[in-house]
Structure 1
Amino acid sequence: METFIRLIAQDLIHRFGTNLRDVTVVFPNKRAGLFMNQQLAAVSGRPVWAPRYRTISELFDSLSDFTRCDDILSVCELHRVYAALVPDPESLDRFYGWGEIMLSDFDDIDKHLADPHKLFSNIQSIKELDHSDFLTPRQEEALKHFFEDFSIEGNSRLKEKFLALWNRMDDIYATFNARLKEKGMLYEGALYKDVAEHLAERTDRIPADMTYVFVGFNVLNDVEKRLFSYLQKRGQALFYWDYDVMYVGEKSRFEAGTFIRQNLKEFPNALEETCFDNFKNPPRIEFIATTSENAQARYIPQWLDSALTEPEQDTAIVLCNESLLQPVLHSLPDATSPHPVKRTNITMGFPMTDTPVYSFINALLSLQTDGYDRDRRCFRAEQEKIVRSHPYAALLEEQDIFCPHAENHALLVYIRSLLEGLAAAFGQQKDRKDDVYSQLYHEALYRAHQVISRFIRLTENRTLDVQPSTLRRLLRTVLGTTTIPFHGEPAVGLQVMGVLETRNLNFRHILMLSVNEGMLPKAVNDTSFIPYHLREVFGLTTIQHKIAVYAFYFYRLVQRTERITFMYNIATDGLNKNEMSRFLRQLLAETDFPVELKILQSGQAVPADNGMEAAKTPEVMDILRRNYGSGQPSSRPLSPSALNAYIDCPLKFYYQQVAHIRQPKDPQNGLDNALFGTIFHEAAELIYRKLTERNPVIRRQDIERLLEGGETTLLPYIEASFLKNFFEGREDTVFYNGQLLVARKVMASYLRQLLAHDSRMEQFVLEEMEQEHHRSVDIISDGHPLSIDIGGKIDRMDTVRMPDETTGQEVETLRIVDYKTGGTPEKAVSMEQLVQPAEHRPSYIFQIFLYAWVMTGEQKRPVSPALFFVHKSNAEDYDPTIVFNRERVTDFSRFKEDFQKMLQGVLEELFNPEIPFRQTSVPKICAYCDYKLLCGR
């Protein structure tokens, strides 16, 4: 394989010999220079005086009298000009998005040397076109098409603002450029234009004996063409275009040759056309369809087994979707693999957004803006928890983190000081030198410090004067586009890169991932103030230009390789269906290249759906007996909720109770259903303790007197419960946001419903609330007797008068009440139904029956189980008493033996070492399970 870089190296040595000090090689990007040096040395076979390497951007900078202005400063300066010229201007906060678009448009105008006055002419109606003799007929037609929807009579507020801006755009452009020039700065397009228009005056910066070699360009804007022409006329330019005659021919319909055809006419190639007929011997091409992005990364070791070249740098993995970088890195074979990759060179940068530094800064920004209550002068619990849970918070002093900073400059200085504190903490750690992620995270800290310092300078001189919310958005945007470079020897090892990094480079074997429509060509943001038709007639960049550019990248990568594998995702994502790239379809439809079509499938056969299971090893059985066996020092009662988990899915019980795998609570989830129920229970307990502080008998008039005060009388109890259970007892963090205010309102309504229902009784005796009760049951486990403690915390027990089932006379009954703030009432007709896994198994009834069974062992009074669904209790005839087999259960004693027998059966199965913890056979039970990802459901 003769690479493009090698061909150029051969030609340069032929033309100039080994002394290339008077040669400047100009590339679209930096990377190719390293490979050029390598090839110059290889071709000459002796020491070479290497040429000077520059990117096109660096060349323009060297020819300019101005420094380049960064985008943030440019937009801020642009806003000052806009505010002075446009009536009723928007603030910088609201303007910033417009400013970015406007700056991009100005940049495009300048790079294409378009006439801004003609483009931004003040045309408010079609009639004015009669006097627009400075426009070509095509431009006139485009302007008519643009303005036909902007009738002055029917203008909306948005159209009026747009027209007001458009009508002053020419003035804004001119004043903005003049303002920057006064400061000695220009944005990129304006700097390029200034160089192009004053080339004759900059001869001192273009040495007469210097030859400029332009390598591997494709689409040229007008300023680049003017520079190329100027140097060409002076006899100081050579041009090396990379292409293939297959797509550059005059009759070719391939987008890849759109710009190269024109370039070859204006700036002839220094190499013969015979060097560019590689597709006459097409490479081995594979198309592999996959059902996920990660599956592509997991395929890498298998592909490398047959494709990794010697030397390794002749093999490349190209990522169209750069977010796959982490899965790809984790998939590369290491030294322990049968076919390890010795060296890896990662060309693309690691995204800042995937580093802990970014998430920490993000958390700090939220803490200091949304997370701080200015009126109450305290941080809100939700944002504070997020910061405290971040691993970097443990490396800093708490008082340094949790101090408020409202003003932008102070906020940025605060973040920078914390980053410096982290740097000091990192310096004391002994990280492994071969830990690539540790090095990356340290570099990320340095880059973040640079970005924050830049923002500090902009706020110090009031250039960036925006609201904290806008500052936060801008900072996130800048950090979000920041990448962290990998350090290493670029020309050594397996190459991992993005599509743009492949320019000018060739590889023998290539694996290209995510070759999907929307990834290649990349879905581009075509946002602009300049409508498409105007962009087209004034020669500005359009989406067709961008597609043609990606087409060129695609085909030039294919044309000099021996083997190339394209992988693409065919999975359907909601309403969106993934499709292979249009360039792959073009290969199939418009070439006769041999293509192997494959589908990536799992190498394992699909097992029978017996479900996952965990064996009851001697160690597991020992844990069960120690945890729940009566008389064991560390034992605890086996709770109804744990038994419900076992009945629904034994494997869930194993994860929860044996392996102790817990789903971590996400502070951002706020008040979930379980916590709402906890707060309600606590508030109800506080209210009833108040009602019974002198007498356990609660009378109707006591409740009615409490209800007369409305919600006001209930709020202290609710807020006391919130303080304990939600705000964790910290009064300085108490703040009721929208969600909590709604929850407090709903809770007050529920408590009123509970009290109103209880007031229907003349009186009752409150026996207990939120107290633990348990009872032992004897079983046989592994041939030996075993006693198990069963029980838990009962929400409420009270004594009421209920009719006896045989005599009909009212008798004192101990009622076991379990509050439910969600769910629906259940029905059951048999004991087997309570323990048979099913989608709608009556698990609430099982739970309250277990409590009733526990209490029947403690006393002789009738025990009646009740499930009080608070949100259903408004109905006049609502009765919380359990209905079992169509009968109200007012005395559980007649069910206790059947229940105990059934319970013993469940426990003997649980403590049987021969029966493993199996996955449930009812898939719908898994829908909301915390462990479904572990089970693959």
Structure 2
Amino acid sequence: MTTFIFDVLTELKKNNNTISELTFVLPSKRAGLFLKNQLYKVSEQTIFAPTILSIEEFVENISELKTITNTELLFEFYNTYLKLTKDSPDSFEVFSKWAQILLQDFNEIDRYLIPQENIFNYLKAIQEINHWSLQKEQTTFVKNYLAFWNKLYSYYQEFTKALLTQKSGYQGLIYRESTKNIDAYIKANSEKKHIFLGFNALNTCEETIIQKLLENNLAEIFWDIDKTFLNNSKHDAALFTRQHKKNWPYFKTNPFNWITSNYTQPKTIEIVGIPKNIGQAKYIGTILKNLHENDPKLQSTAVVLGDENLLIPTLNSLPQGISALNITMGFPLKSIPLASLFDILFDIHKISSSNFYYKNVINIISNQYIKPLFYVDGIDYASLIIETIDTNNIIYVSPERLKSISPGTTKIIDLLFTNWDKSIDTALENCFGIITAIKEFLDQEKASNLLALEYLYRFNELFNELSRLNSTYKHIKDISTLFGIYKEVLSSETLDFQGEPLQGLQVMGMLESRVLDFETVIISSVNEGILPSGKSNNSFIPFDVKLENKLPTYKEKDAVYTYHFYRLLQRAKNIYILYNTEADVLTGGEKSRFITQLELEKIHNIHHNIIAPEVPVINRTLNEVKKTEHLIKEIVKLAERGFSPSSLTSYIRNPIDFYYQKILKIKEHEDVEETVAANTLGTVVHNTLEDFYKPLINTQLKEEDIKNLKSKINETVTTHFKQVYKEGDITKGKNLIIYEIAKRYVSNFLDLELEEIKRGRKIKIIAIEIENKVSIDIPGLDFPIQITGKVDRIDEYDGTIRIIDYKTGRVDKSDVEVINWEDITTDYKKYSKSFQVLTYAYMMQQSNHLKFPLHAGIISFKNLSEGFIGFCKKDKSGNGANKNYFITPEILDAFKTELQALILEICNKNIPFTEKEV
């Protein structure tokens, strides 16, 4: 396959041009590199390389101005804005939001040589008509709005004047100035010949410059357009080329070079629909793997990413064995972990505060670059801080508290958390200090940290630029504005890859493919909204005004991508076009019109497939842990310490959970409770009632006792919240509501007791929060078995003993009813509460020889209207005709049988711990 660049060089050689004396102007620097590589193929001897420039470099040379960054333009423009806006100017942060758009419009107006005063006056007139009103007086808002439009031309004049004084400019201004200087340039370079190649869409400035050079016989221009597109008046791939051919006077008497016929040559085109972006990246890897088997060097293969966010997934999907790889696109600095560190630092300091949200603190000290700095003298202070925050339920933490926890890391804590709000200089000094501290650590093992050190170097450059802008312009007044500028600078920064620019596989974006040709092309993300990008109008200039002034609209921008897409296909032999089939917020899952157009042309034989990832069927196997001799010993130890009702119900719910929690002693990590958890609420209510009733043991409750307790609710509940919830805040939000709920629960319970006493009920407190541990003999086991647990309350109600368990959740009567005894140890959801209260009854009967009959049940704080909800044994018919609400020896004997069977199962070495399906 011959390339466009090679064909141009061959033509120039054929026409007896001295290559060394030519000046080549191309759409991009990358194209220049490929041109330089092709020179040896047409030169029979050693020569000096010709001058090779990108169009931007060429125009900059003519204008004698230097390009400055978008960020610096913003600062310069703010100087102009402040100079012309005396009354209530916007802050720099607010200004930067709309000024970016206005700068883009300035750029377009200049690139297309639109008379500035005319268009700005036109825009002003449109706005005045839009806001015309019968009211004599305009509102302040409308006045300010119209004043803005009235000043646009003044902004433009003053801004461009300031830039030209400094011999600098934005791209459009440089282009406009170059058209003014082109005659002087031609006069000074009358012997120099310019070769323009590979251009398509040209702005008015570029057209003016190139035509001037052509008219003075100082240039040749080589287009790369196929006759298939040029001869089709509706095909957007040749939209601009047709206009140039028709409108340029030069082509009335000179040939139009070149119209080719490469597109109709035989090609293998495979169109593949793949779900999701990651699917496309994986499929690119599959294609390359197959290609690599036949062509290990992949010498003329390019992966063109329509969506540049696919770069990292694609790189991770490349097959092994690719020896040469060149990535034109840089890796965005905003995508590396160091960027997320500074993002969160700026975010927490945007608002001046002496306390920081615990999750932000944990995120910062857990960052891979910061965590090692908290490891001092063998102590992991980062883990210590996190543990202290969790243990003490600290939701907001101060730098002083961090220093008290981690005295060995005072310096880094100061850099991360203090003084950012004092001044912008101090904030930037802190950023430099953080970078220096990280570098000192990484330098200890420099060889293994080269990439991380490169990241640091680039961020150091970034903050140097921020520091320079701040010291030069003094427009950054607060951290929020600094954050905005930081994001602006960061968004344009990339970390360039080192590769083989002229060898092996090429990975690039669509714009980097200009002028280049490859035999095999893989194009991804060919979806509407990406290729082409679709309708977007980020401009102050309305659509109809753009049309009137011949400024580019979305139609022209779509035509630009149409040309690039079809130019990639012109000389290629093997083409893979991938698109996302899944609905997406931006692309909608709709394949691009380019694909539909290819299919409708019917020029090539196209294979269109929908690919789905192969998803293996994974049969989930339930975890099973066999009981080894060691495991049996651990079970024996647990049995000797005692099985609690909660541990036994844990086994009923899922034996594998019992194994993890009770045998392996693995506890769930307790996070900070921002909102009071249900178990915390339950603990506070339990502890409050324990405080209230313990002094009343062995006494019969009286009205004055209860009334006396009610006066202590507020104080006691508050005390227990502080003990359990530690440093958590209960003074606002949901926590305040839960705090009030806890007081209401206790108050309602006391009201229930008071009502019972007033009705003549005799209630005597026998025990409160009583610990029990009893032995149980189980035939077949030769080691002691203990049952242990704490009963919330035992009282005597009109002469009948009651064993009571408090529940802050809702419990209904059906939750403590049993029909079939064998179900009580198998159905956790239905019978767990019955199992618990019967276990308490059994323990109390064994230890205290409570007299029968007695009651055992639950008081539910969410269902207090039911009062005491006692255990009930229903007959097997389940119709409720025969119910026994009393705990009798027969009831406990039946329960003991099930309890023994359950413990035998736990201790049986032949029955493994098997996970239950949930």
TM range (shorter): 0.7 to 0.9
| 2:385 paired residue number | none
Conserved? CA contact 1:367–1:384, under 8 Å: no
Seen in structure 2, the aligned counterparts of structure 1 residues 904 and 312 have a Cα distance that, compared at 3 Å, is farther
Letter in 1 for 2:500: E
2:332 equivalent to 1:351? yes
Which of 575, 578, 582 lines up with 1:571 in the alignment?
A: 582
| 2:362 paired residue number | 385
Letter in 1 for 2:637: G
| 2:322 paired residue number | 341
Partner secondary structure for residue 814 of structure 1: strand
| 2:792 paired residue number | 797
Which of 216, 221, 224 lines up with 2:198 in the alignment?
A: 216
Seen in structure 2, the aligned counterparts of structure 1 residues 656 and 223 have a Cα distance that, compared at 3 Å, is farther
2:738 equivalent to 1:761? no
For residues 618-672 of structure 1, what are the alpha-carbon distances to aligned partners after superposition, in whole Å with 9 as ceiling and x for unaligned? 6x8678657x512279999699489659847x888899999999998898xx736
For residues 700-728 of structure 1, what are the alpha-carbon distances to aligned partners after superposition, in whole Å with 9 as ceiling and x for unaligned? 7566556558867744543454335x5xx
What is the CA-CA distance between 1:414 and the residue it aligns to? 0.8
Structure 2 portions without partners, runs of 5+: 375-408, 755-762, 875-879
Partner secondary structure for residue 636 of structure 2: coil
What is the CA-CA distance between 1:482 and the residue it aligns to? 2.7
Letter in 2 for 1:320: G
What is the CA-CA distance between 1:361 and the residue it aligns to? 0.9
2:89 equivalent to 1:89? yes
Which of 475, 483, 496 lines up with 2:486 in the alignment?
A: 475
Conserved? CA contact 1:75–1:99, under 8 Å: yes
Seen in structure 2, the aligned counterparts of structure 1 residues 576 and 708 have a Cα distance that, compared at 3 Å, is farther
What is the CA-CA distance between 1:541 and the residue it aligns to? 2.5
| 1:276 paired residue number | 260
Distance 2:777 2:8 in 1: 87
User: TM-score if structure 2 supplies the norm length?
Assistant: 0.80
Which of 720, 731, 746 lines up with 2:737 in the alignment?
A: 746
Distance 2:693 2:794 in 1: 14
What is the CA-CA distance between 1:533 and the residue it aligns to? 0.9
Partner secondary structure for residue 338 of structure 2: helix
Conserved? CA contact 2:529–2:587, under 8 Å: no
What is the CA-CA distance between 1:517 and the residue it aligns to? 1.6
Moved more, 103-112 or 150-159: 150-159
What is the CA-CA distance between 1:341 and the residue it aligns to? 2.3
What is the CA-CA distance between 1:165 and the residue it aligns to? 1.3
2:523 equivalent to 1:512? yes
Conserved? CA contact 1:849–1:865, under 8 Å: yes
2:300 equivalent to 1:289? no
| 1:307 paired residue number | 291
Distance 1:277 1:625 in 2: 83
| 2:678 paired residue number | 677
2:628 equivalent to 1:631? no
Seen in structure 2, the aligned counterparts of structure 1 residues 826 and 248 have a Cα distance that, compared at 3 Å, is farther
Which of 146, 152, 170 lines up with 1:163 in the alignment?
A: 146
Letter in 1 for 2:802: T
| 1:417 paired residue number | 433
Distance 2:158 2:622 in 1: 74
Conserved? CA contact 2:813–2:869, under 8 Å: no
Distance 2:659 2:567 in 1: 56
Letter in 2 for 1:166: W
Partner secondary structure for residue 539 of structure 2: coil
Seen in structure 2, the aligned counterparts of structure 1 residues 305 and 386 have a Cα distance that, compared at 3 Å, is closer
What is the CA-CA distance between 1:844 and the residue it aligns to? 6.4
Conserved? CA contact 2:224–2:259, under 8 Å: no
| 2:213 paired residue number | 231
What is the CA-CA distance between 1:686 and the residue it aligns to? 5.6
Distance 2:339 2:866 in 1: 57
2:178 equivalent to 1:178? no
Alignment of 1:581-592 (within 5 A): 581-592=592-603
What is the CA-CA distance between 1:320 and the residue it aligns to? 1.8
| 1:132 paired residue number | none
| 2:443 paired residue number | 427
| 2:111 paired residue number | 111
| 1:723 paired residue number | 726
What is the CA-CA distance between 1:677 and the residue it aligns to? 2.8
Partner secondary structure for residue 205 of structure 2: helix
Conserved? CA contact 2:20–2:49, under 8 Å: yes
| 1:552 paired residue number | 563
| 1:816 paired residue number | 805
Alignment of 1:182-197 (within 5 A): 182-197=165-180
Alignment of 1:687-726 (within 5 A): 687-688=688-689, 691=692, 708=711, 714-715=717-718, 717-724=720-727, 726=728
For residues 303-358 of structure 1, what are the alpha-carbon distances to aligned partners after superposition, in whole Å with 9 as ceiling and x for unaligned? 22433335313122222222222222222122xxxxx3233222222222321111
Identity within the alignment, %: 23
Partner secondary structure for residue 518 of structure 2: coil
Partner secondary structure for residue 737 of structure 2: helix
Partner secondary structure for residue 29 of structure 2: coil
Partner secondary structure for residue 21 of structure 1: helix
Letter in 2 for 1:567: L
For residues 92-118 of structure 1, what are the alpha-carbon distances to aligned partners after superposition, in whole Å with 9 as ceiling and x for unaligned? 222221111111111111111111211
Alignment of 1:348-497 (within 5 A): 348-370=329-351, 373=353, 377-396=354-373, 398-403=409-414, 404=418, 405-406=420-421, 407-432=423-448, 440-497=451-508
Seen in structure 2, the aligned counterparts of structure 1 residues 798 and 528 have a Cα distance that, compared at 3 Å, is same
Partner secondary structure for residue 490 of structure 1: coil
Letter in 2 for 1:723: K
| 1:929 paired residue number | none
Letter in 2 for 1:152: S
Distance 1:689 1:465 in 2: 59
Conserved? CA contact 1:699–1:764, under 8 Å: no
Letter in 1 for 2:369: Y
Seen in structure 2, the aligned counterparts of structure 1 residues 248 and 576 have a Cα distance that, compared at 3 Å, is closer
Distance 1:304 1:276 in 2: 30
| 1:928 paired residue number | none
What is the CA-CA distance between 1:883 and the residue it aligns to? 7.3
For residues 555-601 of structure 1, what are the alpha-carbon distances to aligned partners after superposition, in whole Å with 9 as ceiling and x for unaligned? 11112111111222222358984111111111112343211111213
| 1:805 paired residue number | none
Distance 1:16 1:843 in 2: 99
Distance 2:776 2:328 in 1: 66
Letter in 1 for 2:483: R
Moved more, 273-282 or 386-395: 273-282
Distance 1:117 1:497 in 2: 41
Distance 1:430 1:239 in 2: 51
Seen in structure 2, the aligned counterparts of structure 1 residues 752 and 225 have a Cα distance that, compared at 3 Å, is same
| 1:243 paired residue number | 225
Distance 1:161 1:656 in 2: 68
Letter in 2 for 1:294: I
What is the CA-CA distance between 1:246 and the residue it aligns to? 1.3
Moved more, 465-474 or 214-223: 465-474
Which of 620, 644, 648 lines up with 1:612 in the alignment?
A: 620
Which of 898, 901, 910 lines up with 1:901 in the alignment?
A: 898
Distance 1:284 1:494 in 2: 19
| 2:384 paired residue number | none
Distance 1:723 1:218 in 2: 70
Seen in structure 2, the aligned counterparts of structure 1 residues 312 and 123 have a Cα distance that, compared at 3 Å, is closer
Distance 2:44 2:908 in 1: 78
Letter in 1 for 2:201: V
What is the CA-CA distance between 1:691 and the residue it aligns to? 4.0
| 2:303 paired residue number | 317
Structure number, greater radius of gyration: 2
Distance 1:107 1:92 in 2: 21
Letter in 2 for 1:613: T
| 2:3 paired residue number | 3
Distance 2:766 2:604 in 1: 86
Letter in 1 for 2:496: P
Distance 1:909 1:289 in 2: 54
Moved more, 531-540 or 184-193: 184-193
